[in-house]
Chains A and B, each alone.
Chain A
């Protein structure tokens, strides 16, 4: 005991104040310098959303145009072979009803596919609106960051995809997604999510939900192109993302989004 404490004392006295500051500056400076380069850009990553190099897809949804027909949810299921059971969705619609007493009711019977029945009488309603939900294709996706095997990723044009052959079905990403946009496919045993219908984009077609929306409440475009329809949508509307405090870099912009929406 006496020996170890004496050696510690000895060791401590060997470092001069000058050496300590030298070493400290070297370490802190080293971290600051290396964090500028891409593999260590933790600080930049947290402070700023990436913007992509070429095409960089952004989505606009106009809540003030959504009539809650649920055609988008239905089209998504048919296009992408999503199981018909009412708890598997890549895209769905929710009805928010804020009552006069301030309580909030969120309903989504079968994702809105069979239509909505108003469950609260008119005189109790303060306001009510439909919110179509889908993958936000975040630039800093929490789901991508937690995948232990690199089976989910952001493409260079900003689409979050799943590699089915690599997914081990660990469900980490399902609980990581703050928007609830992932589910485990009951037959495949792997995770499934909105692919922004990349197989349709490839052929010059709109994603199924965008194609089908009867009121054209959905807009898809290139955020890097100043003349694109998504940029004119953002210019002409007051848009907001859901849960901005989570810093997910969401690229799904809602017009007329109420703060009650979660």
Chain B
């Protein structure tokens, strides 16, 4: 074998050996367990903190509202749709059953016109949508800047919830 080929082979062998050693040192142990990725990354993704509690946990304490809501137009709306993420609220209530909830953990009660308008503002894309759960009724739509903006007699500005109780609209 010519001299230069021998040298080349030895040079390649050294590089490959170095690569294998470095791969052993640098590669995380879970890499390649189930594909070209670090398997432990799945566990790390699963460890993230939750915010939304899920409707089941609301019913535990607020069953009265659940019953009240159950035959209205908002029956299939879960509590957190309007009141926001509730996990910390639920966890505190679970832990200190008889204590008053601190203000920071109280959930918001959206009562502005714009809060209702998110779903009920008149829109061409919304007009045909029907719900088979509530006898094929269409979603009620209004122009929030026109629909009974002020009281007819007193001329005081009205909020939606003054006429439509959100749990039984």
Q: Which residue of A lies closest to B38 (CB)?
A: A163
20 A-B pairs besides A161-B45, A200-B50, A211-B80 with CB distance below 8 A are A64-B129, A67-B139, A70-B118, A78-B51, A79-B52, A114-B114, A115-B119, A118-B122, A128-B123, A150-B31, A150-B36, A150-B37, A154-B35, A163-B37, A164-B41, A195-B45, A195-B48, A205-B54, A206-B54, A214-B119
Interface of B is mostly: loop
Residues of B within 8 A of A153 (CB): 35-37, 41
Flag whether B24 is at the interface (Cβ < 8 A): no
Q: CA of A129 to CA of B76 in the docked complex: distance in angstroms?
A: 22
Kindly identify which residue among B35, B78, B119 contacts A211, using a CB–CB cutoff of 8 Å.
B78
- A202's nearest neighbour on chain B, judged by CB, is B46
Chain A's closest residue to B133 (CB) is A216
Check if B89 is an interface residue, CB within 8 A of chain A: no
A1 cross-chain contacts in B, Cβ below 8 A? none
Q: A67-B119, A116-B121, A116-B123 are in contact. Are A216 and B76 (CB under 8 A)?
A: yes
With A71-B81, A199-B50, A212-B52 in contact, is A166–B129 under 8 Å at CB? no
The answer to whether the Cβ of A91 comes within 8 Å of any Cβ in the partner chain is no
B52 with A208: CB separation less than 8 A: yes
Q: Is A151 on the interface with B (CB-CB < 8 A)? A: yes
Contact, CB under 8 Å: B47 / A211: no
Task: Name B62-113 residues within 8 Å CB distance of A.
Answer: 76-78, 80-81, 84-85
